[in-house]
Chains A and B, each alone.
Chain A
């Protein structure tokens, strides 16, 4: 790469993380540290029924027997789980569940600044949002309108209060607390998240979304999302997230569970933009997340689309259990790492039912000193006859200090199924850049164009508004990174 391109790249990577501000918000916090008492405190604060507390305690005790996983291709100093604050909630100005008026104006202003309006009147129609700050949901919009169709869209806390039967029936059925270290931790201490229930044959008329914001220092964010689509139901769900710029690392260990019954379809899109740390790799969010969907019913479909640009470390594998015959799982991913960011991400497609199909398209982009790993498992079980998988993993390298790694695992248990895997690694070529510049485009526009072209297969899976945001975000994350 030429000096000019290099310079351009540096300039780009220096670009400020524009969501790095902090808000001065009066918060109700638990003391730092983790113990059964803290879990009891969280459960009590949330006025949870007994089954929840018991479940949390079982998870906590199980977590105590587990070791932090070390198999991923990421490196970080040991996390001191006793120094983290597990509960921090912005104080409401007045009591009253679900009232949008009760929100601290500073909280409201914070979300406004992030481009998330929690005033229903101000929002463009078509998207309902659940806004989560630190440990709790502060507002959920359009609930009444959705309720007319029988759709439940609320914070997890509300769901525990108002729909305990549904929570009890589905919680932990896709990601049990025994699943892995971070899932067990989440089950013990999760404080909020979103809950969504689509009744039979209901096509959700608007995009549902959750916006996660970490604000308080030294806290972890542990949220849980549960989405159930009954027979023939459809929902498109979006998730966005940001955090302030801080020198310390903060832990985000979330769990997402999706359940699709017969003919149901769930489309889950994420634009992850947690604070990535600074140029030297100081600070940033540890994003250790377990996301899994169960295609329980026949002909059901779960589609994951993710654009991962933030976090200092990302460790997540949105997966599908294809249980129902003819069910379909999809995973479309763009993961961008710059500076000292590390990402180990991918998916698992477990084919259990007959004639099940899965598609994996993963695009990894590394710049600076970053390490970007795709890790995926395609398992076709013996009974999953006539099943198919198509996987494609492409890596794009910018500069010569970064790395791209691909670990595809494939297990096929019968002879009537087909698995295809394609992988490429390329560098943003000096010849590509020169070609664009020779046609009058600036270096910056050229890089944006090349990278966006590279990611196109994934971007077109995103809802329109998100696709535009994702393209912009990519530009910001990679500014200056041609090397």
Chain B
């Protein structure tokens, strides 16, 4: 599904290189966790996959379902099924959550050649998904992320994911800033969205999330490179020994 080969990325404004040759292969149905210390390039990788224009790819390629992903605009990546749950979900004052989500879903459906949903159909879909991640319906009428608590914002991202039905979901530090109850709810939501035809990439700093969402693979990112890959056991090892352990090249 996703094939990253020798990916080098720098920040457009200042030319600082963040990713220095990433190789990663993700197949349908797999859940990959990307771990690493602060500043290792985890979030950069997530944002580059979604097409953030503040970064520049200087070398390497990303193939998504056999297509050159780097040629696609951010909106077309989204329409092709890539979803990024942001670490810091953005507020859009004055625009109701339901309006935003419906516009978003219909933009994606149009791209897929599906019929757009009308207000009624959308509402019943949204209600079903909200029940599923234990979100109160009043969220639909509130402005996008405005006045939401940290946990509410993250849950709102998961709701969007549930409604937009992506093929590849990237969750960027979705666990950060969540208390344990909120973390459980978010994790349950994510687990329920695991499917044989859907891949997920979890970007996280802490092993904690992986107690609830068990990954198929764990990769450790450090200094812009994947320095170690393994199964879920790797995450536990990291928890015990800290990131310094990976830098020794063990």
Contact = CB atoms under 8 A, between A and B. Distances in A.
Interface of A: 2-5, 429-432, 434-443, 445, 449-450, 452-457
Contacts of B103: 441, 445, 449
> Taking chain A's interface residues, is the majority helix, strand, or loop, or is none over half, making it mixed?
helix
Contacts of A441: 75, 103-104, 107
B60 interface: no
A453 B83 CA distance: 23
B52, B53, B88: residue with the most chain A Cβ atoms closer than 10 Å: B53
Nearest to A431: B90
Given A440-B104, A441-B104, A452 B94 contact: yes
Contacts of A435: 86, 89-90, 92
Given A2-B53, A439-B104, A432 B90 contact: yes
B160 A439 contact: yes
B51, B89, B143, B144: residue with the most chain A Cβ atoms closer than 10 Å: B144
B90 A442 contact: no
B78 A453 contact: no
A439, A440, A442, A452: residue with the most chain B Cβ atoms closer than 10 Å: A440
A438 B160 CA distance: 11
Contact of B79 (A5, A440, A443, A452): A440
Interface string B62-98: 0000000000011101110001101011111111000
21 contacts: A2-B54, A429-B90, A430-B53, A430-B54, A432-B90, A434-B53, A438-B51, A438-B78, A439-B78, A439-B164, A440-B107, A441-B107, A442-B75, A442-B107, A445-B103, A449-B103, A453-B143, A454-B93, A456-B93, A456-B94, A456-B95
A453 B160 contact: no
B73 A436 contact: no
B108 interface: yes
Contacts of B91: 432
Nearest to A460: B94
A435 B83 CA distance: 11
A18 B94 CA distance: 28
B107 A432 contact: no
Contacts of A5: 53
A434 B74 contact: yes
Nearest to B77: A438
Nearest to B146: A453
A4 B72 CA distance: 13
Contacts of B168: none
* Interface size of B as a range: 20 to 34
A440 B94 contact: no
B90 A443 contact: no
Given A2-B54, A4-B53, A429-B90, A440 B95 contact: no
Given A449-B92, A449-B95, A449-B103, A440 B111 contact: yes
Contacts of B53: 2-5, 430, 434
A449 B101 CA distance: 12
Contacts of A443: 75
Given A430-B54, A445-B107, A438 B94 contact: no
A264 to B, nearest CB: 31
B186 to A, nearest CB: 19
Given A434-B53, A440-B107, A441-B104, A453 B93 contact: yes
A451 to B, nearest CB: 9
A438 B54 contact: no
A445 B104 CA distance: 10
Given A439-B164, A441-B103, A449-B103, A434 B52 contact: yes
Nearest to A429: B90
B108 A440 contact: yes
A452 B100 CA distance: 12
B50 interface: yes
B94 A439 contact: no
A434, A436, A438, A441: residue with the most chain B Cβ atoms closer than 10 Å: A438
A434 B46 CA distance: 13
B65 to A, nearest CB: 17
A172 to B, nearest CB: 40
Contacts of A2: 53-54
Contacts of A3: 53
Given A435-B86, A445-B103, A453-B143, A440 B92 contact: no
Contacts of A436: 92, 100, 104
A3, A432, A435: residue with the most chain B Cβ atoms closer than 10 Å: A435
Given A2-B54, A4-B53, A437 B92 contact: no
A439 B92 contact: no
A439 B78 CA distance: 6
A450 B146 CA distance: 13
A445 B108 CA distance: 13
Contacts of B104: 436, 439-441
Contacts of A429: 90
B92 A438 contact: no
Contacts of B144: 453
A454 to B, nearest CB: 6
5 closest residue pairs by CB, A with B: A453-B94, A456-B94, A453-B95, A439-B104, A2-B53
